[in-house]
Amino acid sequence: MNYNTDTYKRELEKLGISISEEQLEQFISYYEMLIEKNKVMNLTAITDFDEVIEKHFIDSLNLFRFADLKADKTIIDMGTGAGFPGIPLKIAFPNLKITLADSLNKRILFLNDVISELGLTDIDTVHGRAEDLAKDKIYRENYDICVSRAVANLSTLSEYCLPFVKIGGQFISYKSGDCDEEITNAKSAIFLLGGRLNQIQKFEMNDNSRSFVIIDKVNGTSKQYPRKAGLPSKKPL
């Protein structure tokens, strides 16, 4: 099928991102695999090509506004779901070393197929809950950046994500534009987990308000965190 990719290219140019025809084909293949698998598995409520471009691909790549993605950094995408933001980041920035983590194995199997079909390298997947994976020394405090588009309050997300970040690294949470109260309520949790709020970057994207909450990892996370499965969401710090 032929797709009009002019709008996508213009949006990428606005972000200062340039991609090759091969990378563009990878994005299209990813879209087609996503829509095909979505027929039998709930991956996305958005299926129109232009909407997926805007609300999944461009939204994922907006991270480039505020993070140096041209360096050889290690990134873990926690609660990646259908692969956002990790797969778009990997396609656009092949230099990144990325781990996609999700608690549902069916999604991990889909992502493995995408990685294989697109010929991506230096990207792996791991099936498990954040509460369990963060206790494993393979993953704990081993990444330059942890990103998440998962829908959870920032206190809970910080407990899930900050344990994966090495000291000197960052946890970057994708949020809607209206998140001030949520951030205020999360400050004590961020401190407890070894983090420090760096900045909140708010911007408009085609009439949608979006935010990046950028948290620096300044101290090691106590071994008592994250707490056992379920507690971070039921009883946020």
User: What is the band of 168 on the pLDDT scale with cuts at 50, 70, 90?
Assistant: very high
pLDDT at residue 179 tops 90? no
Instruction: Provide the 3-class DSSP secondary structure of residue 202.
Output: strand
Would you state the pLDDT for residue 208?
81
Identify each DSSP E strand in the chain by its residue range: 74-78, 97-102, 123-127, 143-148, 165-176, 195-205, 208-217
Ramachandran angles phi, psi of 196, nearest 5°? -145, 130
pLDDT at residue 138 tops 90? yes
Residue 208, number of CB atoms within 10 A of its CB: 12
pLDDT at residue 122 tops 80? yes
Residues ≥6 apart with Cβ < 8 Å to 49: 3, 31
Would you state the pLDDT for residue 42?
93
Average pLDDT along the chain: 95
Which range among 4-8, 80-84, 118-122, 157-161 shows the weakest confidence by mean pLDDT? Answer: 4-8
* Domain limits, the chain: 69-234
**pLDDT higher for 117 or 210?**
117
Q: How far apart are the first and last CA of the chain?
A: 49
pLDDT at residue 205 tops 90? no
The CATH H-level superfamily of 69-234 is: Vaccinia Virus protein VP39 (3.40.50.150)
Q: What tokens appear for 154 in the block?
A: 């920032």
Instruction: Provide the 3-class DSSP secondary structure of residue 216.
Output: strand
Q: pLDDT tens-digit profile of 20-61?
A: 999 999 999 999 999 999 999 999 999 999 999 999 999 999
Region of 140 please: left (phi>0), alpha (psi -120 to 50) or beta. Answer: beta
pLDDT at residue 204 tops 90? no
| DSSP result, 147-180 | EE---S-HHHHHHHHGGGEEEEEEEEEEEES--H
Q: What tokens appear for 134 in the block?
A: 């963060």
Is residue 217 a contact partner of residue 169, using CB atoms and an 8 Å limit?
Answer: yes
pLDDT at residue 206 tops 90? no
Residue 36, number of CB atoms within 10 A of its CB: 10
Cα 149 from Cα 147, distance rounded (Å): 7
**pLDDT higher for 72 or 176?**
72
Percent of the chain surpassing pLDDT 90? 87
